[in-house]
Amino acid sequence: NKFEALATHDALVEFSGTLNTLAVSCMKIANDIRMLASGPRCGIGEIILPANEPGSSIMPGKVNPTQCEAMTMVCAQVMGNHVAVSVSGSNGHFELNVFKPVIAYNVLQSIRLLSDASLSFAQKCIVGIKPDLERIE
């Protein structure tokens, strides 16, 4: 249907929703890892994160969960992009949707952000996680 192709971009809105769902899952995973690594004196502290940057200046022995925090920021941006895509998809009036550039920009940005952040998170955080055996026992 040519009119549908011009006026609606439901497939892109749905795809953005899938990216949003992925962002929700990644945010939960990153937050769970951050909480499991909380410490060193109080908190759960069952896992040890790799030290990618200098530690805390006020808490010796603490490893800042910077990769987890970076992932959650990316996820928040992707969720915001999905809102923009949803609003843009709903603004197709009659035979034309002039919001297509907004949809395209935000979907492409979400793909790039999730791709880059997932690789960084895997390489700089997930791979280096170790159990804190003393704390677990």
Give which of 59, 72, 62 is closest to 32, Cα–Cα: 72
pTM, entire model:
0.90
Report which DSSP code applies to 48: E
- Is residue 67 predicted with pLDDT exceeding 90? yes
Q: What is the pLDDT of residues 93-112, one digit of tens each?
A: 877 888 999 999 999 999 99
What percentage of the chain reaches a pLDDT higher than 70?
A: 98
Most confident of 39-43, 67-71, 131-135: 67-71
Peptide bond into 40 cis (omega under 30): yes
Print the domain residue range for 24: 2-136
- Give the span between the Cα atoms of 81 and 86, in whole angstroms: 9
Q: What is the CATH number of the domain that holds 110?
A: 1.20.200.10
The count of structural domains within the chain is: 1
Token reading at 75: 């996820």
Q: What is the pLDDT of residues 20-57, one digit of tens each?
A: 999 999 999 999 999 999 977 788 989 999 998 877 77
Average per-residue pLDDT for the chain = 92
